[in-house]
Amino acid sequence: MSSRPETAGAGEEVAAVRLHEVEHVYGGPGGPVAALGPISLTVPPGAFLVLVGASGCGKSTLLRLVAGFERPASGTVRTGGAAPVPGRGAGIVFQQPRLFPWKTVGGNVELALRYAGVPRAERARRVPELLERVGLHDVADRRIWEISGGQQQRVAIARALAGDDPLLLLDEPFAALDALTRERLQEDLRRVSAQTGRTSVFVTHSVEEAVFLGSRVVVLTRRPGRIALDLDVTLPRTGVEPDELRALPEYAALRAEVGHAVRAAAA
Amino acid sequence: MRVLSLLALLALWQLAAVAAGNPSFVPAPRAVWDQLVLLSTTHDGVRGYSGHLLVEHLAISLRRILIGSALGVVAGLVLGVVLGTVPWIRLVAEPVVTFVRALPPLAYFSLLIIWFGIDETPKLWLLAIAALPPVAVATAAAVHGAPTGLVEAARALGASRRDVIKDVVLPAALPEIFTGVRLAVGVAYSSVVAAETVNGVPGIGGMVRDAQRYLQTDVVVLGLLAIGLSGLLIDGLLRAAENRLIPWRGRA
């Protein structure tokens, strides 16, 4: 597999994420287990792609491949035209916040800025700015265990945004939160992503979450995960209140369609 | 409750002294107390024990413990990080560390005296060597078992290999390292008497050894009490430092 960046054709944008015939296999005690694919997928810059599927369909594996934590058994993965390397070009939010408890809230964000090569003076200015952006005020000096789970996940998002990477990867980031907190974080993420315009790949098993967040929803079959449905979401991205959005008839229709596909794919 | 149990212990001690009927075998609490007063003052033109007050003996031993275990802790930390991160070095060096750990300090003290003479140097070496293994083993285990989730998160943020060790692996290992340090100081403490068997005066271990030679059992007991109580105090200080330095312990 070559790591040479692919040159885009004349007038053609480099895809934010491109998967070509990707397959992935895990070594199990009873021999190798096919986890994913073959799967081909191209995500244009600025898209909010949601991967939805039942547990064990390989959607998290797909995200780990895009993050560069793992290499595919066959096929190619490209982000911004090159083979992905962790820490380059993509911010990641995990299911658990994975914050560093020996750092304060602000310290966690500051560390991310430092790794991104932001000079010290600018870091001090940008930490509160990033926290504000995810809806947190006056928590920079707090300890991690002094803030709620929802707030911790907000910090994790702020941290992932710190590098100003063109790509944001989210692996079921709200799965461990209570319903009300989850809804509020979904709304804020939708707003933040519309503001920053960066490409996002979001993994979830929730149909509701997929339809609410995605500009495009891809439903995966059960293991080895393949594309069962690939749907562009035509709901407005800005200028609509979350409650209005959920009340739209198109929203209900989409939710029904995706829900049906997820159930069929899991069967 | 603590006072009560202390009083009960004293009473038991007194009883044992009476039952033994021989102050050279079991000295009474009162005799030990008198020695404490005697050794803390200048009496009949003699200053304390062998020309040094009890606190001076203790202070010199504590200084040896401090320097020796500090050297051992630093070396153990470095070795532990290497052992925990480089598998082939772990393979080679771990049996050596375990081997040294199994040796009683008195056994290799002879070698140290041949190499370094009878002054401070061999004593500090002894304490350092005794303190090194607990720290190295604890650090290696903690570094080896660094939380993969946090390491991955740091890598996702663009941390280099060095960043990951400095900002994630070491802080995550700190609680276990601290346990190792407390163990190390404990080992250094119990080794100081061994270190002071040769040319150990002034020094609390040297004092105890001399007193044993002259059958001054009350001085021996006083020395033991001084070592034990100061050991408790130091461990308490280390615990307090631990709580301050590692506030996240048990919370994340």
Assess if residue B52 is contained within a domain. Answer: no
CATH of the domain at B107: 1.10.3720.10
Assess if residue B120 is contained within a domain. Answer: yes
User: Does position B240 have pLDDT exceeding 60, yes or no?
Assistant: yes
Of A88, A101, A102, the CB nearest to B158: A88
Q: pLDDT band at residue A26, thresholds of 50, 70 and 90?
A: confident
Alpha carbons B42 and B174: distance in angstroms, whole number: 46
Assess if residue B85 is contained within a domain. Answer: yes
In chain B, the number of structural domains is: 1
Q: What is the pLDDT of residue B125?
A: 93
Q: What is the pLDDT of residue B133?
A: 92
Q: What is the pLDDT of residue A12?
A: 57
Q: What is the pLDDT of residue A9?
A: 47
Distances, alpha carbon A121 to alpha carbons A118, A227, B154, in Å: 8, 46, 22
Domains delineated in chain A = 25-79+167-267 (3.40.50.300), 93-164 (no CATH)
Assess if residue B7 is contained within a domain. Answer: no
pLDDT digits (tens, 9 = 90+) for A141-168: 899 998 988 889 999 999 998 888 889 9
Of A101, A115, A144, the CB nearest to B157: A115
Q: Which residues of B touch A96 (CB under 8 A)?
A: 149
Q: Torsions phi, psi of B86, nearest 5?
A: -110, 105
User: Does position B186 have pLDDT exceeding 80, yes or no?
Assistant: yes
pLDDT digits (tens, 9 = 90+) for B41-93: 888 778 888 888 888 999 999 999 999 999 999 999 999 999 988 889 989 98
The domain containing residue B90 runs over which residues? 57-245
Distances, alpha carbon B90 to alpha carbons A184, A224, A264, B142, in Å: 49, 39, 52, 13
Of A90, A101, A159, the CB nearest to B251: A101
Q: Where would I find the beta strands (DSSP E) of chain B?
A: 42-43, 46-47
Assess if residue B45 is contained within a domain. Answer: no
Task: Tell me the average pLDDT across A197-221.
Answer: 89
Partner-chain contact B247 A144, CB within 8 Å: no
Assess if residue B200 is contained within a domain. Answer: yes
Task: Tell me the average pLDDT across A105-109.
Answer: 93
Q: How many CB pairs under 8 A join A and B?
A: 63
pTM over 0.90: no
**Which residues make Cβ contacts (< 8 Å) with residue B192, sequence separation at least 6?**
B61, B64, B65, B127, B203, B204, B205, B227
ipTM: 0.83
Q: What is the pLDDT of residue A19?
A: 86
Task: Tell me the average pLDDT across A208-225.
Answer: 87
User: Does position A56 have pLDDT exceeding 80, yes or no?
Assistant: no
pLDDT digits (tens, 9 = 90+) for B9-40: 889 988 888 888 888 888 888 888 888 888 88
Q: Which residues of B touch A98 (CB under 8 A)?
A: 149-150, 152-153
Task: Tell me the average pLDDT across A247-266.
Answer: 86
Q: Which of B152, B155, B157 to probe the A interface (max A CBs under 10 A)?
A: B157
Amino acid at B209: R
Q: What is the pLDDT of residue A198?
A: 87
- By C-alpha distance, the chain A residue nearest B162 is A115
Distances, alpha carbon B69 to alpha carbons A84, A102, B123, B146, B189, in Å: 46, 26, 11, 25, 9
Partner-chain contact A87 B157, CB within 8 Å: yes
Partner-chain contact B154 A91, CB within 8 Å: no
Residue corresponding to tokens 């061999």: B122
Alpha carbons B191 and B189: distance in angstroms, whole number: 5
User: Does position B216 have pLDDT exceeding 80, yes or no?
Assistant: yes
pLDDT digits (tens, 9 = 90+) for B80-112: 999 988 889 989 988 998 898 888 888 888 899
A127 to chain B, closest Cα gap in Å: 15
Assess if residue B251 is contained within a domain. Answer: no
Please tell me the least confidently modeled range out of A25-39, A183-197, B21-35, B143-157: A25-39
Q: What is the pLDDT of residue A10?
A: 44
B159 to chain A, closest Cα gap in Å: 6
Assess if residue B51 is contained within a domain. Answer: no
